[in-house]
């Protein structure tokens, strides 16, 4: 009953191959140890090359098979059904690091990085957020100034970059000054071994525990001219990559919600209180229906956005509506599932609390719920609530 309106069942078989390979890999290599990984706060790095070999990393890019929006979305749903940290890894690697290089990089930059990123031989991260600038990236303080012989010198502090400590290359977004011969926000490819570059883990997280969430320090990092992404001019460039990641999130959240519903349904149909299964009580049925309602709306919304994306008609404001809705819906489903499981619901091996904690991050990163509300508000009214 997870697909109450047959939205998923009606997706053509041609869109399923990537999701099926992803599910098979997760069943074989990850599911049995996800609780331990979550507890120890460790990303299963050993599966990264396998994610590459099944063709997942970079899948939507023209160079690597051009998976359709539906095929990519279904794969994100599989990853997040297991854990949001897995989907975060894949969407940062693909939608942020690889997309930035594919869209805005020179041919030399693409040749140097994309094939290895697609194979999972190297890892990429994307750093826009700073300690003082999360929702307001336009205010970023990281600076790129001209050094000697046309080089660039980067100084700044980035925070909340997924994959930062395990990445070989970081896409760093920095403000340039007109006297540098450039203007506005530009992107730079910074190898992790560049002198002056340091990545540190953000520790003691209670959410997205398997993600390598990181802060990055740039202390006079000197880079050649060729490190700049030549076609990325202005804040619209990183924001356009974030659109791809937001699309992944709105599909991923469905996987998380479905996992929570399944765990809750199994519990309420087996557990008896007052001489009958919990599922026979009216208030429990109400919860189940609310959960199926939320999941069905999320599936419909995701399928429609996939269609618009396929047709090249998807606007970023529509993505904001989708990310906002599907994360909020998944949070509601996870909370209800946790309550239906009673005290058992807080145990790690019952999965719902882990999903619930992860979803707290989904509601915040890559545009908070409030920012997405205001993006849609601006689209409706023509009035910006930001400035
Ligand atoms: P505003 O003047 O509205 O826009 C600046 C320029 O950007 C364009 N634009 C977009 N373009 C493509 N896609 C989008 N989603 C876009 N949103 C805006 C806009 O059209 C404009 O272009 P132009 O040509 O007119 O200059 O900018 P604003 O400063 O008023 O703010 C707009 C706002 C608040 C919507 C935007 O700043 C925003 O989306 N803020 C949220 C940022 C966010 O999501 N941050 C979290 C990033 S996640 C992270 O850093 C970690 S990396 C991921 C990970 O590792 O997990």
Task: Transcribe 358-372 into DSSP letters.
Answer: HHHHHTTTTS-HHHH
Testing ligand 1's pocket by substitution, the residue of 90, 171, 239, 317 carrying the most ligand atoms inside 8 A of its CB is: 239
pLDDT at 1: 62
pLDDT at 66: 94
Using pLDDT thresholds of 50, 70 and 90, give the confidence band for residue 179: confident
Using pLDDT thresholds of 50, 70 and 90, give the confidence band for residue 180: confident
> Is 138 close to ligand 1, i.e. is its CB under 6 Å away?
yes
What is the mean pLDDT of the segment spanning 298-326? 98
pLDDT in tens, 264-291: 999 999 999 999 999 999 999 999 999 9
To the nearest whole percent, how much of the chain has pLDDT over 70?
A: 100
Level-2 CATH architecture, domain 13-123:
Orthogonal Bundle (1.10)
Q: Where are the domains of the chain?
A: 13-123, 125-227, 236-381
Residues 197 and 216: beta-carbon distance below 8 Å? yes
Euclidean distance between the first and final Cα of the chain, in Å?
Answer: 45
pLDDT at 148: 79
pLDDT in tens, 96-129: 999 999 999 999 999 999 999 999 999 999 999 9
CATH number of 236-381: 1.20.140.10
Choose, from 80, 215, 258, 366, the residue flagged as catalytic.
366
Residue 155 has pLDDT above 80, yes or no: yes
Whole-number Å distance, alpha carbon 128 to ligand 1 midpoint, is 10
Residue 136 has pLDDT above 90, yes or no: yes
Q: Return the CATH superfamily for domain 125-227.
A: Butyryl-CoA Dehydrogenase, subunit A, domain 2 (2.40.110.10)
pLDDT at 195: 98
In the annotation, is 222 catalytic?
Answer: no
Testing ligand 1's pocket by substitution, the residue of 104, 137, 170, 235 carrying the most ligand atoms inside 8 A of its CB is: 235
- Return d(Cα 378, Cα 385) in angstroms, integer: 7
B/e letters for 64-92, b = 16+ CB within 10 Å, e = fewer, are bbebbbbbbbbbbbbbbbbbbbbbbbbbb
HSE-CB for 340 with a 13 A CA cutoff: 36
Testing ligand 1's pocket by substitution, the residue of 86, 237, 242, 320 carrying the most ligand atoms inside 8 A of its CB is: 242
Whole-number Å distance, alpha carbon 239 to ligand 1 midpoint, is 5
Tokens 């992107």 correspond to 187
pLDDT in tens, 323-339: 999 999 999 999 999 99
Residue nearest to atom 40 of ligand 1 (CA): 135
Whole-number Å distance, alpha carbon 164 to ligand 1 midpoint, is 21
H helices present in 92-212, as ranges: 99-104, 107-119
User: What mean pLDDT is reported for the chain?
Assistant: 97
Q: Which atom of ligand 1 is nearest to the CA of 375?
A: 35
pLDDT at 387: 81
Residue 231 has pLDDT above 80, yes or no: yes
C-alpha distances in Å from residue 370, one per residue of 225, 320, 324, 377, 384 = 38, 10, 8, 10, 13
């Amino acid at each position: 009953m997870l697909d109450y309106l047959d939205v998923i069942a009606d997706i053509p078989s041609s869109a399923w191959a990537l999701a099926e390979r992803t599910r098979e890999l997760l069943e074989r290599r990850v599911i049995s140890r996800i609780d331990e990984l979550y507890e120890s706060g460790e990303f299963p790095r050993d599966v990264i090359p396998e994610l590459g070999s099944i063709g997942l990393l970079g899948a939507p890019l023209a160079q690597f098979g051009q998976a359709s929006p539906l095929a990519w979305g279904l794969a994100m749903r599989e990853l997040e059904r297991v854990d949001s940290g897995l989907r975060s890894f894949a969407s940062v690697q693909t939608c942020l690091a690889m997309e930035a290089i594919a869209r805005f990089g020179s041919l030399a930059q693409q040749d140097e990085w994309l094939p290895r990123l697609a194979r999972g031989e190297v890892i990429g991260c994307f750093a826009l957020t700073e300690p003082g600038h999360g929702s307001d990236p336009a205010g970023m303080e990281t600076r790129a100034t001209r050094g000697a012989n046309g080089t660039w010198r980067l100084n700044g502090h980035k925070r909340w970059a997924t994959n930062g400590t395990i990445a070989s290359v970081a896409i760093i977004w920095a403000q340039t000054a007109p006297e540098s011969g450039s203007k506005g926000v530009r992107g730079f490819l910074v190898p992790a071994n560049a002198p002056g570059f340091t990545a540190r883990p953000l520790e003691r997280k209670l959410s997205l525990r398997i993600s390598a969430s990181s802060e990055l320090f740039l202390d006079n990092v000197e880079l050649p001219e060729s490190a700049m992404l030549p076609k990325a001019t202005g804040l619209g460039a990183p924001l356009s990559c974030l659109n791809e990641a937001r699309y992944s999130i709105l599909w991923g959240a469905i996987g998380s919600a479905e996992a929570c519903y399944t765990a809750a349904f199994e519990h309420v149909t087996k557990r008896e209180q007052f001489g009958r299964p919990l599922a026979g009580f009216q208030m429990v049925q109400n919860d189940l229906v609310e959960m199926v309602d939320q999941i069905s709306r999320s599936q419909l919304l995701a399928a429609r956005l996939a269609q618009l994306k396929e047709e090249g008609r998807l606007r970023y404001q529509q993505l904001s509506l989708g990310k906002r809705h599907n994360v909020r819906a998944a949070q509601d489903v996870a909370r209800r599932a946790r309550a239906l499981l009673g005290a058992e619901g807080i145990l790690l091996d019952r999965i719902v609390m882990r999903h619930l904690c992860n979803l707290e991050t989904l509601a915040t990163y890559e545009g908070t719920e409030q920012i997405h509300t205001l993006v849609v508000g601006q689209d409706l009214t023509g009035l910006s609530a930001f400035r």
